[in-house]
Amino acid sequence: MHTSIMMSLLFVLGIAGLAGCATTAPQTLVQSALADTHLGWQPAPENQLAFSVATATGIARVELRPLPRELHTLTLELPGMRKVEGVQWRGDDGGHSMLFDGSGGPDGVSLQSRGHGFRLQIKGAALDLVRGGGMLTVIDYYRG
């Protein structure tokens, strides 16, 4: 699995481009919070932010800065993940929420299988929940 994740990461980094958030460079909005969580930037339409996360441990953690008001969709590609068990959010204000619990989540959160990984998309009320900044944690099924 480690080789698969690293190959996916190299592919992601090879095609990474600028995200389409019109007023702010995407690299100032999202950063890795774990040493083994690697980010790659994806092309995105205007007013959207898209990036990829690869990890060898099955737990990816990224820190989001406050997101601009004009941003209306956040997309996270998760190459190499086999079965996402949960997506947790902890805001800078101390609030927290389970965005995905293995079977579903609040309106505005969708998780789609993409062959060798997943795509997490956050918009609407769910995006408003994370807009103020905080920590996003994705937990993949990982059993040694």
Using 50, 70 and 90 to split pLDDT, how confident is the model at 142?
low
Q: Which of 138, 96, 93, 88 has its CA nearest to residue 117?
A: 138
* Mean local confidence (pLDDT), 18-33: 61
Average per-residue pLDDT for the chain = 80
Tokens of 14: 């090879």
Whether the predicted pLDDT of 137 surpasses 60? yes
Give dist(CA 115, CA 95) in Å, integer. 33
**At 3, is the secondary structure helix, strand, or coil?**
helix
Whether the predicted pLDDT of 21 surpasses 60? no
Residue 16 CA: distances (Å) to CA of 27, 38, 55, 105, 133: 12, 12, 17, 28, 23
Tokens of 81: 């993940």
Give dist(CA 45, CA 93) in Å, integer. 29
Using 50, 70 and 90 to split pLDDT, how confident is the model at 42?
confident
Quick: pLDDT tens for 45-101: 888 999 898 888 889 999 999 999 999 999 999 998 988 999 999 998 888 999 999
- Residue 61: what residue type? R
Confirm if 62 and 55 have CB atoms less than 8 A apart. no
> Residue 58 region, left (φ>0) first, then alpha (ψ -120 to 50), else beta?
left
Pairing state between β 48-54 and 73-79: parallel
Chain-centroid distance of CA 3 in Å reads: 21
- pLDDT at position 73 is 95
